[in-house]
Amino acid sequence: MNKIDRMVSAIDPAAEFSEPSMSQGAHDLLEEIVATPPAPRRASWLPGRRIAVAETGQAHPSPAITAAAPRHGPSPLRRRLLGGAALASIAAAAAVVVPLVPGSESAAYAVVKKSDGTVQVTVNEFRDPEGLEAKLDAAGITADVTFTEAHKKCAPGRFVGADLAYDPPSTRNMTEQERKEFDKPDNWRSRDAATPINRNTFLISPRFIRPGETLVLEFRPGNYPGMDWALGTYLAKAGSPVAPCKLVTAESDEAGVREMAGN
């Protein structure tokens, strides 16, 4: 030990000991651990219609998410999720298979009818819409389910809406009386017919669905980092058939992500 080493040793006795050697196997294992990226976060439902979940897990008020929703009127009807990176586009809408919970080995979906009459739906993958429709029908819910690609959506005009959610009129130039009528909860039953409760689960409330109406659910993966997937919920008027989804280009989710982040 030289003079400098003895001085350092006096301050830090451990300094006189050399670093223990590491075997090649241990070295390789350490490199593998360091190189392995962290597991992706699970996608999270917005816990309320105007609530966004930030990176810290704190809930913050969020402005309107969809342009169609009135600024001071009923809350937006398209439920969106915040999470990790946006999911990739899928080649064909009929073959969409997107895991909502990474690593999940459970069924694509689960439908449970609760004692209070509500129906709890958990969606783990975007596949088999007909199967989900059948399970909902068995639970007493007439539904039309569509899974689209990330950059696609269903063209408007598939059905006649039972309320204002599907094709809301412009609030520009509305009189005060017209606005009061516009804002009545009964004109926005679609927003309450299917509401998110956590992560990849939402609750259907039949009391907001009138006899003969069809609950229309349009799912698609997000197309911008920070938006994992989007869900549109609407009610088709009794007697109005729901036409097959004709795919058109969907708008970017960038604006929605920025709005939910408060930017």
Same structural domain for residues 47 and 173? yes
Name the residue with tokens 């223990």.
Answer: 20
Same structural domain for residues 53 and 183? yes
Q: What is the pLDDT of residue 231?
A: 87
The 10s digit of each residue's pLDDT in 51-100 is: 222 222 333 222 222 222 333 333 333 333 322 222 222 222 223 334 44
Q: Which two tokens stand for residue 76?
A: 């937006």
Neighbours of 35 (CB within 10 A): 7
Same structural domain for residues 32 and 46? no
Q: Which two tokens stand for residue 127?
A: 């596949």
- The continuous run of DSSP H or E covering 151 comes out as none
The 10s digit of each residue's pLDDT in 97-132 is: 344 444 444 589 999 999 999 999 999 999 999 999
How many structural domains is the chain composed of? 2
Same structural domain for residues 151 and 207? yes
Same structural domain for residues 16 and 145? no
User: Measuring CA to CA, how many Å separate 169 from each of 40, 215, 217, 239?
Assistant: 40, 21, 21, 22
Terminal CA-CA length for the chain: 60
- The continuous run of DSSP H or E covering 71 comes out as none
Same structural domain for residues 216 and 86? yes
Same structural domain for residues 123 and 221? yes
pLDDT bracket for residue 198 (50, 70, 90) = confident
pLDDT bracket for residue 23 (50, 70, 90) = low
Domain that residue 205 falls in: 40-260
Name the residue with tokens 């229309």.
Answer: 216
The 10s digit of each residue's pLDDT in 151-196 is: 999 999 999 999 999 999 999 999 999 999 999 999 999 999 999 8
Residue 235 near residue 242 (C-beta atoms within 8 A): no
pTM of the model: 0.61
